[in-house]
Amino acid sequence: MANDSAKQINVTLVRSTAGRLEKHRACVRGLGLRRMHQTVTVAATPENLGMINRVSYMLSVEEA
């Protein structure tokens, strides 16, 4: 289980949240993204992976 918590993912917002569904905006904010081209590192938890999956069309994702 300690191995799973060590996995990190770099997530970058590459498309704007303007005009998107409120749930999708909430997922982007939940991942810690505020601005275009901002990159954050998040843990690869099921919760974060679900948010990433929902708004994947707005994100660039790579392993850290």
* List of residues 6+ apart from 53 with CB closer than 8 A: none
Q: Domain-by-domain residue ranges, the chain?
A: 2-63
Q: What is the predicted pLDDT for the residue at 2?
A: 55
Q: What is the predicted pLDDT for the residue at 1?
A: 52
Q: What is the pTM of this model?
A: 0.88
From CA 38, how far away is CA 56, in angstroms rounded?
A: 15
Q: What is the predicted pLDDT for the residue at 10?
A: 98
Tell me which CATH code domain 2-63 carries: 3.30.1390.20
pLDDT tens-place string over residues 16-56: 999 999 999 999 999 999 999 999 999 999 999 999 999 99
pLDDT tens-place string over residues 6-18: 799 999 999 999 9
